[in-house]
Amino acid sequence: MGIIGGILWGVNLLQRAYPYILGWTLAHKKTFLLIPSGLVLFGFITWLGFDSFFGWLPQLIRNWKPVSALAHTFPGLGKEFMPPLDEGSYLLMPTTMPHASMGEALDVLQKQDMAMQVIPEIDVVVGKLGRVESPLDPAPISMFETIINYKPQYIVDQNGRRLRFKFNARKTDYFRDIDGNPLRALDGEAYRVRGTFIRDQVSGGLILDAHGVPFRLWRPPLDPVLNENRKAWGGITKPDDIWEQILNVVKLPGTTSAPRLQPIAARIIMVQSGMRAPMGIKIKGPDLKTIEKVGLQIERFLKQIPSVQPSAVIADRIVGKPYLEIHIDRDAIARYGLHVRHVQDVIEVAVGGKQLTTTVEGRERYPVRVRYLRELRDQIETLERILVPAPDGSQIPLTQLANIHYVRGPQVIKSEDTFLIGYVVFDKKSEYAETDVVEECQAYLQQKIELGEFQVPAGVSYTFAGNYENQVRATKKLAVVLPLALFIILMILYLQFRSTLTSLMVFSGIIVAWAGGFLMIWCYAQPWFFDVNLFGTNMRELFQIQSINLSIAIWVGFLALFGIASDNGVLVATVLDQLFGSRKIDSIETIQMTIIEGAQRRIRSALMTSATTLLALLPILTSTGRGADIMIPMAIPSFGGMAVALITVFVVPVLYCGIKEYKLKHSTEKKEMV
């Protein structure tokens, strides 16, 4: 309510002061137009970066502290396909060595599950290894899939609204879970926080209170003032912090790390690219050993890139699975009068088992197989003692009839476009954008090739895949859609005013609003922006302010902004056309007085249009739950653009006045010449 009241109060104040401000702007046109011009330049610098416009400056000037600070403050906006959705769960997909046995893999999976369950923010952990009996699931034994559901940041009801409980802000207490047990910080010790929740004396549970405070389930920051002789700790403030905790506890010898994945997003990525990571490289080549060699080289190079998470760079270990091969000696079996088929039948029954019959139990069918006990077939030495019956009744050990040994081979063979293929998956650090990371990786690998440090063998090629491909396709479409939308808007304005100059004046409001959208995106990335408490609520937490990258959601928000940003200009320009069409103008003072009169008639309508749009966007900007991850980035440019678009109630009159004054001066000069 305070924010809504502030917006309405500001609109009312602007309405009262409008004629005085407009009079000043009409008297100082060039000075005033520096403001919207500066906003547009600021928008371009925020979008593309300082170096995109001033990279031509000499290195001496660029090293100057003020210029260097500007370049650091305005690096340009990162690019990604879509904002990451918060599914409330993670999908951890590490791998172990290809030659790991079923028992070893199961032991590793159980240890990881137990380690993750200890994290206070984790709710449920369910892991699996191997695959189901389906050709659509090619997961080997060495790859794990663990779904991790984490708790919400606060206790919420069925509708996702935070519940409030009775709270005493004057006391200090250990931070406790919902059952009242103290929780430990990163150093393994419990820690104190400001305030304590009042609990029921009998049950020990929390007490609901409409005027209370939401109960936090994630550990808050550790304050050294309240906890003497202990280092400050940032606590768990976002899902990325939970993911870091997960990676820290699942480190085991012989297992890899994993890229950050969520169950639904991971399945979409797998269907699109076949990889188990949002970013990766597909390597195509003539044989598996060459592909694996190139993949290991790329893995080494990617770990050196600052924007890449080194622990998440994993190249496929393609050739490394141990296979047991039994080569039958045909000369040896011939001496005993045996055929190859006889020896193979014995090996099949002893090792793989042979189906004898099928049991029928209602509608269920179960095969009955016979084979040797595990202890008689789990080592080469025991396999060598398998007896093969000869025609004369003697029992011949298999070691006299065949050579048994292990060989290294592929654990899985993948192909695409008729080529054998291998993957190198990787992940970005949280402060970088996906597309920027991929572009940096491409440039780095190309640099290594030019320096001769990375030689791609003949017949081998590599391409980047994942969400990056979606971003490339979306960029191509937006390159057509955005200019087309702006052109259509300009044509509609022309059909309304039948004047190119008036249409361009109104269209200038869209450009200013566009700059305002980028201004709001830049502000969201600044730690100082809206860092205030209002009625006991931190505004950054309420509006979920954090760094945002350019994505499809952002550009959709800009498209919506383009459709409404010209409303104020249309209102003002329409009444000005009507007034100037019905009056005789013979002096500059008359022009300015007419413009002030016409603008005053429409200022209330223009401010109401902007205010209602801003107020309608507030519930979206403060929304949580399903869909908020997409809706908030869509609303940010619209909110910032409409807030800055208020300046168009001055820009359009100033430009209109300038054109009318120029025409009057030009016509006066013609008359004097005549």
- Please state the domain extents for the chain: 2-37+499-673, 88-261, 321-410
For the cut 70, the answer to whether the pLDDT of residue 256 exceeds it is: yes
DSSP assignment of 465-531 equals EEHHHHHHHHHHHHHHHHHHHHHHHHHHHHHHH--HHHHHHHHHHHHHHHHHHHHHHHHHT-TTTT-
- Segment 228-235 mean pLDDT: 91
- Segment 9-23 mean pLDDT: 86
Tokens of 126: 């369910």
pLDDT at 162: 86
Q: Is residue 660 within 8 Å of 592, Cβ to Cβ?
A: no
pLDDT confidence tier of residue 1, bands split at 50, 70 and 90: low
* Among candidate residues 475, 505, 479, 468, the one with its CA nearest the CA of residue 490: 505
Residue 428 CA to residue 417 CA, distance in Å, equals: 28
pLDDT confidence tier of residue 57, bands split at 50, 70 and 90: confident
For the cut 70, the answer to whether the pLDDT of residue 674 exceeds it is: no
pLDDT confidence tier of residue 161, bands split at 50, 70 and 90: confident
For the cut 70, the answer to whether the pLDDT of residue 308 exceeds it is: yes
Q: What does the mean pLDDT of the chain come to?
A: 89
- Segment 43-50 mean pLDDT: 91
pLDDT at 112: 94
Q: Does domain 2-37+499-673 have CATH number 1.20.1640.10?
A: yes
- Segment 313-338 mean pLDDT: 90
CA angle 633, 634, 638 (to 5 degrees): 110
For the cut 70, the answer to whether the pLDDT of residue 671 exceeds it is: no
| pLDDT tens, position by position, 602-661 | 888 888 888 888 888 988 998 877 788 899 999 999 999 999 988 888 999 999 998 888
Residue 610 CA to residue 613 CA, distance in Å, equals: 5
Cβ atoms within 10 Å of 169's Cβ, excluding its own:
10
| pLDDT tens, position by position, 555-595 | 999 999 998 888 888 988 999 888 888 877 778 888 889 88
For the cut 90, the answer to whether the pLDDT of residue 185 exceeds it is: yes
Q: State which H helix or E strand residue 597 sits in.
A: helix 588-621
pLDDT at 665: 83
The CATH number for 321-410, chosen from 3.90.1170.50, 3.30.2090.10, 1.20.1260.10, 1.20.1300.10, is 3.30.2090.10
pLDDT at 3: 67
| pLDDT tens, position by position, 363-391 | 899 999 898 888 888 888 899 999 999 98
Q: Is residue 462 within 8 Å of 264, Cβ to Cβ?
A: no
For the cut 80, the answer to whether the pLDDT of residue 81 exceeds it is: yes
pLDDT at 673: 64
**132 vs 464, residue with greater confidence:** 464
